[in-house]
Amino acid sequence: MKLSQENTMTEIYNLILNSKTRDWERSLLLEAKDAIETGANYNETIAKLEAALRPLASRNNLTPDVTDFYQKLIGEYQSELEYDSSKHQVTDPRYQSRAVFAGGCFWCMVEPFEERPGIISVLSGYTGGELENPSYDQVLVGNTGHVEAVEIIFDTRIVQYQELIDLYWQITDPTDDFGQFQDRGTQYRPIIFVQDEEQRQIAEAAKQKIIDSGYYKKPIVTEIRWASAFWPAENYHQEFYKKQPKRYKAIKRSRQQFLTYQHLKGNLRKAFTKNN
């Protein structure tokens, strides 16, 4: 998908007004907008803008919405992968419910849940903090109180909350309270956000079962907290495993290697304890 001139200008206007756009990004966009509006050659101006954004785009260091815009400029944006937020809602409270889990970078928390039968939608976002509608940059700094998390809408006739809890413990490190795997910082700490008393009891029982098992040498630090406002992350982060498969697979591989080693140690510890 490559932008027309009209759509390009609309995107530039919107990004200039977007509070999540960094100041230096905004200055480049303003420069391009002003140049075109005062008669500069459109193609030359956009080529100059693309060149100015390219170094940081190549290092994945643009803000998410500007990243989407840059990919549209160079014709690499996959519009069919734009997240449809309208599907992320409970349409039948009798048979649908929500679950919210934080377990490190939300890029790696979507696929394991999304591919399970009975999952309606998985949304990446930010929760647990006080700031309203935080940006990725603000959460990344680590002083807003938010964590990266996923909000899951699921069909209770097909999959139960207990099954989601069981999967959560399998794909996270419950002994690390300052991040998960290669992701360091308070915004990556593991937390289960419960929606009601039933979820709280299930989560607490599962946590106690793990503590009692002796599977882990270190203390279990995963928090269980009441759910608070959940703010959707920018489109770039939604279903990242589909948009950036090579990058995602590299991160997933590293995460799985750690978990495999950790689970091996846990199994050996349990076997040793049982035999003694």
Domains of the chain: 5-77 (no CATH), 92-255 (3.30.1060.10)
Task: Compute CA 14 distance to the chain's CA centroid, rounded to the nearest angstrom.
Answer: 23
At residue 39, does pLDDT exceed 80?
yes
Q: Which residue has the tokens 């599977």?
A: 215
Residue 1 is predicted with a pLDDT of: 57
Residue among 73, 99, 105, 108 flagged as catalytic: 105
Asked if residues 259 and 173 have their Cβ atoms less than 8 Å apart, the reply is yes
Q: How far apart are the first and last CA of the chain?
A: 63
pLDDT digits (tens, 9 = 90+) for 166-215: 999 999 999 998 988 888 999 999 999 999 999 999 999 999 999 998 88
Average pLDDT over residues 4-11: 92
Cβ burial 158-197 (10 Å sphere, 16+ → b, else e): ebebeebbeebbebbbbebbebbbebebbbbbbbbbbeee
List, edge to edge, every strand of the sheet that includes 119-127: 223-226, 191-194, 96-102, 147-155, 119-127, 230-232
pLDDT digits (tens, 9 = 90+) for 139-151: 998 889 999 999 9
- Compute how many other C-beta atoms are within 10 angstroms of the C-beta atom of residue 259: 15
pLDDT digits (tens, 9 = 90+) for 214-228: 889 899 999 999 999
Is 105 an annotated catalytic residue? yes
Residue 273 is predicted with a pLDDT of: 67
As beta bridge partners, residue 119 has 154
- Compute how many other C-beta atoms are within 10 angstroms of the C-beta atom of residue 219: 9
